[in-house]
Chains A and B, each alone.
Chain A
Amino acid sequence: AQSVSQHNHHVILSEAASLELGCNYSYGGTVNLFWYVQYPGQHLQLLLKYFSGDPLVKGIKGFEAEFIKSKFSFNLRKPSVQWSDTAEYFCAVMGSSASKIIFGSGTRLSIRP
């Protein structure tokens, strides 16, 4: 069965600081990987996705993520955060042999102005 771990539950940063949120997954085969963002009071929106090819993927709003197969990781990064990045971030995985999309427990990001 597939699973996702996000070890950072709450991250607090100042504006312009760099961000890295960890995501590790467990699955024995090929995976599709995702980061979703949920702004306060809103539903989830896709931030970026990895299906295959270049392991470094770029998403919206300056976010990027790197798939490291050997580490079963898909960490989210942003070089310089803004106050508007305050949100909850979810990593998700879909194994190639299933339709299930499993989410991690989420990381709440708070940005100090």
Chain B
Amino acid sequence: DAGITQSPRHKVTETGTPVTLRCHQTENHRYMYWYRQDPGHGLRLIHYSYGVKDTDKGEVSDGYSVSRSKTEDFLLTLESATSSQTSVYFCATGTSENTGELFFGEGSRLTVL
């Protein structure tokens, strides 16, 4: 598996507070993705990046922003967390060949009270 680490792995926060999740990869993969996993919805794409400083919206981007200032890090920020953002967040990476094959991190469980 690609070296993908997510931090924090678990976080409990209150409504209205900002939250940043970090994804760090050591594989020099060009593409990086943030998904959220919720029961009955599977994985839904939040944002993705196709290079440093190059990002685009996914299916459920409202309330989320991302930044990628260097190849290895992809940050997901909830500017003002809401209870509907309680979820498990997965980071994934893809190689420069852009075949669509993804390598996943271990996930970050976020609870917004």
Binding site for B on A (CB under 8 A): 6, 9, 32, 34, 36, 43-46, 49, 51, 90, 92, 94, 99-106
Given contacts A99-B94, A104-B42, 18 further A-B pairs with CB under 8 A are A9-B40, A32-B99, A32-B100, A36-B102, A43-B104, A44-B43, A44-B102, A46-B101, A49-B99, A49-B100, A92-B100, A94-B99, A99-B48, A99-B50, A102-B45, A103-B42, A103-B43, A105-B40
15 A-B pairs with C-beta separation under 8 A:
A6-B42, A34-B102, A43-B90, A43-B105, A43-B106, A44-B102, A45-B104, A99-B56, A100-B45, A100-B56, A100-B58, A101-B100, A103-B35, A103-B42, A105-B40
B33 and A101 contact, CB distance less than 8 A: yes
Considering the complex, give the chain A residue whose CB is closest to the CB of B98. A99
Binding site for A on B (CB under 8 A): 1, 31, 33, 35, 40-45, 48, 50, 56, 58-59, 90, 92, 94, 98-102, 104-107
A43–B33 alpha-carbon span in the complex (Å)? 14
Known: A43-B90, A43-B106, A90-B43. A102 touches B101 (CB 8 A): no
User: Chain B CB within 10 Å — which of A6, A34, A36, A43 has the most?
Assistant: A43
Considering the complex, give the chain B residue whose CB is closest to the CB of A3. B59
A36–B40 alpha-carbon span in the complex (Å)? 16
